[in-house]
Structure 1
Amino acid sequence: MTRQKILITGASSGLGAGMARAFAAKGRDLALCARRVDRLDELKAELLERHPGIKVAVAALDVDDHEQVPKVFAELADELGGIDRVIVNAGIGKGYHLGGGKLWANKATINTNLVSALVQIETALEMFKKAGSGHLVLISSVLGNKGVPGVKAAYAASKAGVSSLGESLRAEYAKGPIRVTVIEPGYIESEMTAKSATTMLMVDNETGVKAIVDAIEREKGRAVVPRWPWAPLVQVMRVMPPRMTKRFA
């Protein structure tokens, strides 16, 4: 099934902007939202210049402003004449050692990556139920498969929560008409991974985004991307002692 009208949160940079470019090249209409509306306007101009046949709607949205999420989603849906697919992508990578005195950083990560994701999920499902169908995509992480000591502990926990929500929803909507996909990216070049020490396993943004978009288009229930080397590494991570997973953070 071709999902023509796609909404992406956190679309102003990184994977969100990359997915927007990839879907635009496929001729899809896009609803893009993020906090930095100036970047969204620049991205919209770029996409329309390259692909004049598509529609692009943009809106400012801080997903942590939970009351605004349904309002902005509705406005974007009205502008495009509906939404076929919602990609819950907005997230942050803040974090500190648990008990290290920076609760605010870990709390912000849990709030944005999990609580605000839940708000987006609820909003998208309500839209899809009214429309009679839809495709919900949750951008999680390979780090959601295992507890990770150190500064990534809260981030890994937040993504484990996202993956768990996706698993629950796949069971609930196993027979449709709503499809649910959880994407677990490995390390892909973006603003969020720019300061990561794990560069040996990093792939460039174009390669990573292509793997993500290909998996989304197949509408599989769960996909680890890029498949190599991350699919086998995830299997290893699941059986490793937690103290050893820090090397993946």
Structure 2
Amino acid sequence: MGVICPKCGCKEHYWLQNKLRYECKHCHYRQSLRSGTVMENSKPPFLYRYIAIHLLTSTKKSFSAAELQRQLGHKRYQPVWEMCCKLRDVMGKRDGIYSLSGQVELDHAFITTLIPDDQKDEALKRGVGSQNKSKVVVMTESTFVENPKQGKPPKAVNHIKMKIVCDLKADTTTNMVKKYVDSQAELTTDASTSYKKLKEHVKKQDAKVVKQRDLPKVLPWVHIVIGNVKRLLWDVHHQLKNEYLQLSQ
């Protein structure tokens, strides 16, 4: 597609070698190589970005900003942390384009986060309503395996979506499904009242009454994902505020 002027839409430009910028032939608007990318208005050099992108996408476990700072040999933590947040935000937006289809498992996870400052003086609640528990809707797209190996899940996972929600109400979960799950998908959930309206928005919903100990068998990939995320957050980030949880997944 080439370079397109964001001001007038013209596709013809001059390259200004002394400025290292493109200049539009029509309106003379100038833009750099970083314009329209995650690197726009960013001070860290290109090499930092490329190394960060490589490390964040090629490792099985996530990278903390402190570890990335050490790998880059940068003196200050703040610019590296901001760079990580921008990259994770862009990666999340790209994943948001796709809808889950086929066989989809859905359940809620409760991730331990730091208590918000405005709630620290309150008595700590117990259970899912606790101030240090963030509620997350977990959805996995999977396909059945014909001859699964012994000890392996009967399904193979494809795409995953995890979204923070403010409550467990049926309307909240339904809105998540309408936004991120294809209407022709077949949904597997437990029989929670949070999922009572989902069958209206998918091809089929299999809502099973399941004992807590049997959930990993009925929803194998959802609970594998939840377990992996909890271990990753504990190993890499240790303590995390709720406002940064979505960027860390």
Normalised-by-shorter TM-score class = under 0.3
Higher relative contact order (CA 8 A, sep 6+): 1
TM-score (norm 2): 0.26
Q: Which has the larger share of helix?
A: 1
TM-score (norm 1): 0.26
